[in-house]
Amino acid sequence: MNADDLPCFLSAFIRVPWGHPLDSREKDYEMRKGFTRKPQRDERSAGGKNYITRSGLQRLKDEHRFLLTRERPAVVEVVAWAAGNGDRSENADYKYGKRRLRQIDGRIRFLTKRIEAAEVVDPEAPRAAQTKTRAFFGATVRYANAAGAERVVSIVGIDEVDLNRNHISWVSPLGRALMKSAAGDSVVLQAPGGTEYLTVLEVCYERISVEPFREPPGSEASTKGLPRRR
């Protein structure tokens, strides 16, 4: 997908007042409140597309492959082993395994849908003159609050949110507020504690580093071969 095709679709999400990040000890709390919000059903499938960076899509694919080819078969093996150990109603391995299988299958279905709906947007792709200075999907934005405290965020897909890297969703409160803004613009965020004014200082498009998928510790695939509980 060409990045220039996004402005018309994303313009519907311009400067919607929501929560905002503050400074120092309230940073983590406010980041979670202002940077993320559990997407509503229509946001999850906005336009039928899942806008995402290439590395973000790869992370979804890697998790999907791990669950389908390693974790699920390992859990199926545990369930089969546990089923042969007598009364299933009193068999903790069997009950845990069946519950874990349901969780894995649900996650696989979710990832499959997200991957199928993926629309990759490259933050480094060339942009038209009228869009390269304004914040759209894939932009990295530097802004300041009324107290002058500066922060830098990157606007990514809803499956790529990473508070540790200041990656915010394009449908999050802050993402919506920054959308289509340019350096020098002021955006208003309405928080429970009052109104906050943010000044956009810089908008640029650069590579966004997404944390790759890593095998979770304690997964059944990683403990395969260890003694089972009796």
Across the chain, which has 230 residues, the per-10-residue mean pLDDT values are 45 34 37 40 58 97 97 92 74 86 97 97 91 95 96 97 95 91 92 82 96 89 59
Q: pLDDT at position 227, please?
A: 52
In whole angstroms, what is the distance from residue 120 CA to residue 52 CA? 5
How far is the first Cα of the chain from the last one, in angstroms, to the nearest whole number?
A: 54
Q: pLDDT at position 20, please?
A: 34
Q: pLDDT at position 87, please?
A: 62
Q: pLDDT at position 63, please?
A: 97
Q: Looking at the chain, list the stretches that DSSP marks H as alpha helix, in order from N- to C-terminal side.
A: 6-10, 27-35, 41-44, 54-66, 72-83, 92-116, 173-178
Q: pLDDT at position 157, please?
A: 97
Q: pLDDT at position 17, please?
A: 32
Q: pLDDT at position 81, please?
A: 85
Q: pLDDT at position 9, please?
A: 37
Q: pLDDT at position 104, please?
A: 97
Q: pLDDT at position 220, please?
A: 80
Q: pLDDT at position 29, please?
A: 36
- Phi first, then psi: give them for residue 151, nearest 5 degrees: -150, 150
